[in-house]
Amino acid sequence: MEHLVIIGNGIAGITIARNVRKQLDMKITVISSESKYFFSRTALMYIYMGHMKFEDTKPYEDWFWEKNKINLVYAHVDKIDTDNKLLVLNNGETINYDKLVVATGSHSNKFGWPGQDLPGVQGLFTIQDLELLEKNTKDIKHAVIIGGGLVGIELAEMLHSRNIHVTFLIREDYYWNNILPKEDSQLICKEILQNGIDLILKTNLKEILSGKDGRVRAVVTDKGDELECQFVGLTPGVHPNIDVVKDSKIETGRGVLVNEYLETNIPDVYAAGDCIEIKAIREGAPNRLEQLWYTARMHGEALAKTICGNRTKYERGIWFNSAKFFDIEYQTYGFISNVQRAGEKTFFWQDKEMKHAVRIVYKEDDKSIVGVNVFGIRLRHKVFENWIKEKKTVGYVVNNLRRANFDPEFFKKYEPAIIKEFKKQNPEMEESIITEKTFS
Ligand SMILES: Cc1cc2nc3c(=O)[nH]c(=O)nc-3n(C[C@H](O)[C@H](O)[C@H](O)COP(=O)(O)OP(=O)(O)OC[C@H]3O[C@@H](n4cnc5c(N)ncnc54)[C@H](O)[C@@H]3O)c2cc1C
């Protein structure tokens, strides 16, 4: 019987194992040195905040794996020998494979700051990081978080929930404005400030200082300010974890290099999830890193088909993502650039409190939508995916927003205010576009 071995039991690796098992009776082994059982990394924050126990973050019961003949190995892979189709583990054991998937995830970034390895300074990615965070933040009063991405704001919320005063140091002009347009990131900045977090913008970390006990005691910014603290969270993004691949014959760049079928340069070796770098198909286009839960799952779904004999391209389809910034839920569908692109126009509405907002970007010529950002209102994924695919006009979308809304019944509805604002901003737009109501 053929043996499929997967390094990494994150969402990418587990999606492959489960989908292959549904289709084939091959031997499947999943190896991970982080945890024996698959858990939801995106739920780590809720463990710290006391909303969940680690057990609750495991989507499958422990008996599931044996019942489905998926063999779990809790060990670290030290070496991949592709000539002999062999893995060497840190416990001295070896495992032979017929097909191999590298799904080793990411590492948190560190940029060589003086003091970055001091006790009391850490990133947040693994379950071990969470355990360390428990120790590092016990009885502390003030924390500084460096780097304004999605994990940074989660860490701010986590620490805040334990009454730790947080200073959030961000090098950009506004929170996450390398991704979000200005008004959108201003809305999130307001939410951060309203939650009592100190937000310092346009400022870089220069160094981290230690006290007499050898632990972190302060950070120094590039503006020369010294901020006293007992903890520093480093969250300036992640990079693909290619440690185990580097000394093998598998080709790497920033990540494990794969083609659109998620195949590496070595036959029978594939890769998926945060660790991959997808080679550009068009000449001159950049290679792609995709480091999200959803994309890792989609890699896994496509690759499982290929492993089962139905060679399938990974196609990202219409982009989507979601996150939560303190109390504000965020969803994005299609493509919204932080700076408006040529040939595109934007409709933006937000309520007075800056707690709810909708941004629709559309083509100037035929008014078809290219993307939407929404804050504080829940929209149905499938509906928006279809509207973008079907090139619905901005007028249609504004008029039919209530069809996509799945806020609970008793929530305040914002659609009348959104339609009113749309008409106000677009007096020149033909009435037929503004009131296009037919749905297919
Ligand atoms: C706190 C936090 C919150 C997040 N929130 C969101 C969110 O809201 N939305 C979103 O889309 N994304 C979010 N992400 C990102 C998302 O979790 C990742 O994109 C996703 O988990 C990647 O899955 P993966 O399967 O590629 O890798 P991982 O989940 O990283 O799994 C890889 C596994 O492989 C193991 N491994 C690596 N090398 C070896 C080796 N040599 N031997 C054995 N095992 C090895 C690792 O220890 C790890 O357990 C969040 C990330 C974090 C840290």
Q: Are residues 244 and 228 in the same domain?
A: no
Q: What is the DSSP string of 47-60?
A: HHTTS--GGGG-SS
Could you tell which of 7, 54, 104, 243 is best to mutate to test the pocket of ligand 1, judged by most ligand atoms within 8 Å of the CB?
104
- Measured in Å, residue 113 CA sits from the centre of ligand 1 at 24
Ligand 1 atom with the smallest distance to the CA of 12 is 25
Cα distances (angstroms) measured from residue 97 to each of 88, 237, 312: 11, 33, 22
Cα distances (angstroms) measured from residue 122 to each of 136, 144, 169, 212, 262: 9, 11, 15, 19, 32
Kindly report the protein residue whose alpha carbon is nearest to atom 9 of ligand 1.
293
Q: Are residues 156 and 193 in the same domain?
A: yes
Identify the band that residue 440 occupies on the pLDDT scale cut at 50, 70 and 90. very low
Kindly report the protein residue whose alpha carbon is nearest to atom 20 of ligand 1.
293
Ligand 1 pocket residues where CB is under 6 Å: 7-13, 31-34, 41-42, 44-45, 76-77, 103-106, 124-125, 150-151, 154, 241, 244, 273-274, 291-294, 296, 323
Q: Are residues 338 and 354 in the same domain?
A: yes
Q: Are residues 290 and 141 in the same domain?
A: no
Q: Are residues 36 and 47 in the same domain?
A: yes
- Measured in Å, residue 235 CA sits from the centre of ligand 1 at 14
271 domain-assigned: yes
Q: Are residues 151 and 204 in the same domain?
A: yes
- Interatomic CA distance for residues 271 and 27, integer angstroms: 18
Identify the band that residue 146 occupies on the pLDDT scale cut at 50, 70 and 90. very high
114 domain-assigned: no
Longest dimension (CA), the chain: 73
Q: Kindly report the CATH number assigned to the domain that includes residue 172.
A: 3.50.50.60
What is the average per-residue pLDDT within 196-221? Answer: 97
Could you tell which of 47, 72, 95, 106 is best to mutate to test the pocket of ligand 1, judged by most ligand atoms within 8 Å of the CB?
106
- Measured in Å, residue 338 CA sits from the centre of ligand 1 at 26
pLDDT at 404: 87
pLDDT at 175: 92
| 219-265 pLDDT, tens digit each | 999 999 999 999 999 999 999 999 999 999 999 999 999 999 999 99
- Measured in Å, residue 301 CA sits from the centre of ligand 1 at 16
**What mean pLDDT value characterizes the chain?**
94
Cβ pair 159, 143 in contact under 8 A: yes
- Interatomic CA distance for residues 401 and 139, integer angstroms: 47
Domain that holds residue 396: 320-434
Residue 438 has pLDDT above 60, yes or no: no
Kindly report the protein residue whose alpha carbon is nearest to atom 33 of ligand 1.
8
Boundary-marking domain end, from 248, 278, 307: 307
> What pTM did the predictor assign?
0.93
Residue 58 has pLDDT above 60, yes or no: yes
| DSSP 8-state secondary structure symbol assigned to residue 274 | G
Boundary-marking domain end, from 185, 218, 236: 236
Residue 422 has pLDDT above 70, yes or no: yes
**Structural domain total, the chain:** 3
- Measured in Å, residue 106 CA sits from the centre of ligand 1 at 6
Which residue reads 């024996």 in tokens?
36
Ligand 1 atom with the smallest distance to the CA of 45 is 1
Q: Are residues 254 and 186 in the same domain?
A: no
pLDDT at 428: 77
